[in-house]
Amino acid sequence: MRDTEIHLGEPPVVANAGVGVHGVASRTDVFRLPELWQLHLYQYEAELTVDGTPHTIRPGRISLVPPGTTVRYRYQGRSEHLYAHLRIAPVGPPRTVPVMQDAGPELPMLTGLLLQAVASAPGEPERTRAEIWTALWRIAHLAPAAERPGPHPAVTTAVAYIEANLAAPLTVPAVAHAAGVSHNHLTRLFHATTGGTVVAYIRRRRLDRAHHLLRASTLSIPAVAASVGIPDLQAFNKACRRELGASPRALRGESHGETALGTP
């Protein structure tokens, strides 16, 4: 096994966390944890076989092994590592993570997170969960950018620019200029990444934000419309009906358990 899929939609349950010492009584360990994930941060050299696939352990490497997987360790002597045994719920989209990878520049941060998780376990289990959850997110993004599918940098820059300027007038040429590419090139990149147009993305994000503000805040409807870059109330009303299926008043009424017919 070289890769595994992990879900990070909610914090894991930490069944145990600590400092493991091996290779003293025996140079070989063979075992599996039927219901628990194994997270290890290594400080030694050894060999690890995961369901028949060999991996080389070196200082600064980290492994993540799913439940029910047979592991075989071959140590060279006393071997010490940080570990956590976890229950991870299948919440959120799955993420493919190498079973074994180098922590690289993240090593100091991951070491600190795991040490704090171990120290917090006896008295602050909630903090232990938070530290391990943070570590898992960082581990899920350790692979070099060239090996991870992701949007073109211009699309990432364009999205950040759009999100920061939803209240202002936005045009595709202005977004393209902020992203450092031509109008046509951004259009092609955006379609390849999102399957849609820049204009459609702007419209969707404006209405998503408007929907949230109408339901979760007491901002007036004109203030909501202005905050998402559609200050014309007639245009805002039409956009809400077209994209969200109801008028701004009806959408606000939903947050108070009202129906569209009962909304004044």
Q: How many residues are present in the chain?
A: 264
CATH T-level topology, domain 153-254: Arc Repressor Mutant, subunit A (1.10.10)
Residue whose C-alpha is closest to residue 205's, from 148, 176, 243? 243
Residue whose C-alpha is closest to residue 61's, from 77, 41, 85? 41
Report d(CA 51, CA 119) in Å as an integer: 31
- In this predicted model, what pLDDT tens digit does every residue of 85-108 receive, in sequence order? 999 999 988 989 999 999 988 899
Give the per-residue pLDDT at 259.
Answer: 36
Give the per-residue pLDDT at 55.
Answer: 94
Q: Check: CATH 2.60.120.280 for 3-141?
A: yes
Give the per-residue pLDDT at 143.
Answer: 60
Give the per-residue pLDDT at 105.
Answer: 85
Residue whose C-alpha is closest to residue 138's, from 118, 119, 112? 112
Answer whether 3-141 and 153-254 agree in fold: no
Give the per-residue pLDDT at 261.
Answer: 31
**Annotated domain spans of the chain:** 3-141, 153-254
Sequence letter at residue 29: D
Classify residue 51 by its DSSP letter.
T
Check: CB of residue 53 under 8 Å from CB of residue 1: yes
Sequence letter at residue 217: S
pTM: 0.60
Give the per-residue pLDDT at 146.
Answer: 41
Element (H or E) spanning 127, and its range?
helix 125-140
Structure-token pair, residue 32: 């599996």
Q: Which residues of the chain have pLDDT under 70?
A: 143-150, 254-264
Give the per-residue pLDDT at 72.
Answer: 94
Classify residue 106 by its DSSP letter.
G
CA-based radius of gyration for the chain: 25
Give the per-residue pLDDT at 150.
Answer: 61
Give the per-residue pLDDT at 195.
Answer: 86
Q: For tokens 């300027």, name the residue.
A: 165
Give the per-residue pLDDT at 262.
Answer: 33
- In this predicted model, what pLDDT tens digit does every residue of 122-131 receive, in sequence order? 899 999 999 9
